[in-house]
C-alpha cells in the first residue's frame, strides 16, 4: 500500500502519521510504526528539504531489519498483515532507489547487486560510465535468461550498435517501443536519420 498521490492527500494524511509517530512506542506495534515512518518518507521524497531525513529514515528501517528486530517474537507479529509492511528486500530496494535519486549511484549499485537485481545494477553501471562492466553483465544475463527486449536494448545503449535495437524490436514482436525510440536517438546523434 502506497500513499495516494497528490499534494492535498499528502497534507491530509500527514497529521495522522505524525500523531502515530509521536505516540509512546508501547501504543503501536513496531511494524505499524515502521510502516507509518515509511509512508511519511514516501510522502516527503519529492521535497528537497526533507530528502536527507527521508534517506535517514529508510536507512534506519533497513538497519532495524538487519538487527533481526521486527518479527522475532510472536508479540511483534501484531499488525503484520494489516500494516502492509514490505519484505526486507523490497525495503532495501527502495533504499537503493532513494540513494540513486540523490546521486549515490555506486552505493545503490552495491545494494542492487547484493539483492540480485541485475537490471538495476546494469543501469547503475551505465550511469557511472562503467560501460565495459555493464556490457559484461548484459552478456551474462543474456546467456542465463535468454533474449529479453530490455537486455537487448541495454546492450545497444552500451555498444551504440543499431543491430541490438532491431533485435529487441524483433524479439518483442514490435511491442517494445523503447527500442525504436533509442534507435532513433542513436541515428540522430550519428546524423544518419
Please state, in angstroms and rounded to a whole number, the distance separating the CA atoms of residues 174 and 99.
34
Average pLDDT over residues 173-182: 94
Between 47 and 130, name the one with better pLDDT. 130
**pLDDT-derived band of residue 76, with 50, 70 and 90 as boundaries?**
low
Q: What is the pLDDT of residues 9-19, one digit of tens each?
A: 777 888 888 88
Q: Which helix (H) or strand (E) holds 117?
A: none
Q: Which three three-digit cell numbers place residue 31?
A: 511494524
Place of cell 509521536: 22
Average pLDDT over residues 78-96: 78
In the predicted structure, residue 170 carries a pLDDT above the cut 80: yes
Q: Which three three-digit cell numbers place residue 59?
A: 536507512
**pLDDT-derived band of residue 160, with 50, 70 and 90 as boundaries?**
very high
| pLDDT of res. 93 | 93
| pLDDT of res. 33 | 78
User: With the C-alpha atoms ordered 47, 50, 51, 57, is the resulting torsion angle positive or negative?
Assistant: negative
In degrees and rounded to multiples of 5, residue 13 shows phi and psi of -85, -30
Long-range CB contacts (within 8 A, 24+) of 90-97 = 91/38, 91/58, 91/61, 91/62, 91/65, 92/62, 93/117, 93/120, 94/58, 95/55, 95/58, 95/59, 95/61, 95/62, 96/120
Q: Which three three-digit cell numbers place residue 183?
A: 534507435
- The gap between the terminal CA atoms of the chain, to the nearest Å, is 45
**pLDDT-derived band of residue 79, with 50, 70 and 90 as boundaries?**
low
In the predicted structure, residue 70 carries a pLDDT above the cut 90: no
Global pTM value: 0.77
Please state, in angstroms and rounded to a whole number, the distance separating the CA atoms of residues 39 and 97.
16
| pLDDT of res. 64 | 76
The distance between the two most distant Cα atoms of the chain, rounded to a whole number of Å, is: 67
Range with top average pLDDT, 73-82, 146-155, 183-192: 146-155
| pLDDT of res. 31 | 74
Computed on alpha carbons and rounded to an integer, the radius of gyration of the chain in Å comes to 21
Please state, in angstroms and rounded to a whole number, the distance separating the CA atoms of residues 145 and 34.
36
Q: What is the pLDDT of residues 88-135, one digit of tens each?
A: 889 899 889 988 988 899 999 999 999 999 999 999 999 999 999 999
| pLDDT of res. 112 | 97
Which residue intervals of 116-148 are DSSP H helices?
Answer: 118-127, 131-145
Amino acid at each position: 500500500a502506497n500513499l495516494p498521490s497528490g499534494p492535498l492527500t499528502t497534507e491530509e494524511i500527514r497529521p495522522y502519521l505524525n500523531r502515530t509517530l509521536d505516540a509512546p512506542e508501547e501504543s503501536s506495534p513496531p511494524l505499524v510504526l515502521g510502516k507509518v515512518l515509511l509512508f511519511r518518507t514516501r510522502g516527503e521524497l519529492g521535497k528537497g528539504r526533507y530528502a536527507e531525513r527521508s534517506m535517514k529514515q529508510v536507512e534506519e528501517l533497513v538497519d532495524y531489519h538487519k538487527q533481526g528486530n521486527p518479527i522475532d517474537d510472536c508479540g511483534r507479529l501484531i499488525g503484520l498483515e494489516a500494516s502492509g509492511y514490505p519484505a526486507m528486500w523490497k525495503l532495501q530496494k527502495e533504499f537503493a532507489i532513494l540513494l540513486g535519486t540523490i546521486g549515490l549511484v555506486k552505493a545503490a549499485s552495491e545494494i542492487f547487486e547484493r539483492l540480485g537485481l541485475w537490471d538495476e545494477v546494469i543501469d547503475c553501471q551505465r550511469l557511472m560510465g562503467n560501460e565495459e562492466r555493464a556490457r559484461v553483465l548484459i552478456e551474462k544475463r543474456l546467456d542465463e535468461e535468454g533474449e529479453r527486449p530490455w537486455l537487448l536494448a541495454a546492450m545497444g545503449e552500451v555498444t551504440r550498435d543499431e543491430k541490438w535495437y532491431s533485435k529487441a524490436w524483433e524479439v518483442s514482436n514490435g511491442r517494445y517501443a523503447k527500442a525504436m525510440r533509442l534507435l532513433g536517438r542513436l541515428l540522430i546523434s550519428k546524423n544518419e536519420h
